[in-house]
Amino acid sequence: MLKMDCTHQIPGGPRLEITLEIGVGGVALHGPSGTGKSTLLHLIAGLQAPDTGTIQWKDSLWFDDQKGIHLPPQERRIGLVPQSPLLFPLHTVEENLLFGRPDSPTLKQDEIIAELGLNELLARYPAHLSGGERQRVAMGRALLSEPQILLCDEPFSALDPDNRDRSTRLLEQCIGQLGIPLLLVAHRRTDALTLVQTHRVLIHGALQEESSQS
């Protein structure tokens, strides 16, 4: 269980006041553009620090402004699939996919690569990939690292319908195998229906029940 109780002022944007718990059932985050959904993921991942509050994973404090705790991203074991995939440009697709792979993995590497349609791309470099291909590589890398929590920011936005369906099924399967929580930012509610149990809307810096989006 991840627990977050934080405030954070986005420069030129809203002030986030977030109280959130993410368990194995997962949470989908919806809302208009510019409301801070991506920033919320970055705060959990450790890429940014909140202004105040705490972020806790099980019994481990990842952030506490009063105690001066800010655990760096590499120590949080988070799988992050950003909206704009950030791949290592000087490494091949295969090297990107295997970055952070545990020594004793649970998930089958060959099955994930095949399901994402990446077998023919393993020797390529990111500069020679399409947007959808980069997005699939970023998803594969996050899954193959076998994180303790998975954060996905519009992971299907650049995918065609067939790849979107295959990727959704793969995410569902891997999350179940690993028994991990998922925080999914999704513009399309249908992308989240089979993956999470709880839906929230971020409006004016605060989380609301999905029915409050009107």
Q: CB pairs under 8 A, 24+ apart, for 122-125?
A: 122/92, 122/93, 122/94, 122/97, 123/92, 123/93, 123/94, 124/92, 124/93, 125/89, 125/90, 125/91, 125/92, 125/93
Range of the domain at 46: 2-213
Contacts of 58 (CB under 8 A, 6+ apart): 1
User: What CA–CA distance (Å, rounded) separates 142 from 176?
Assistant: 15
Cβ(27)–Cβ(198) under 8 Å? yes
Number of domains in the chain: 1
CATH of residue 208: 3.40.50.300
- Per-residue pLDDT of the chain (214 residues), as tens digits, is 999 999 999 999 999 999 999 999 999 999 988 899 999 999 999 999 999 999 999 999 999 999 999 999 999 999 999 988 899 999 999 999 999 999 999 999 999 999 999 999 999 999 999 999 999 999 999 999 999 999 999 999 889 999 999 999 999 999 999 999 999 998 878 878 889 989 999 998 999 876 434 3
Give the model's pLDDT for residue 103: 92
User: What CA–CA distance (Å, rounded) separates 185 from 105?
Assistant: 27
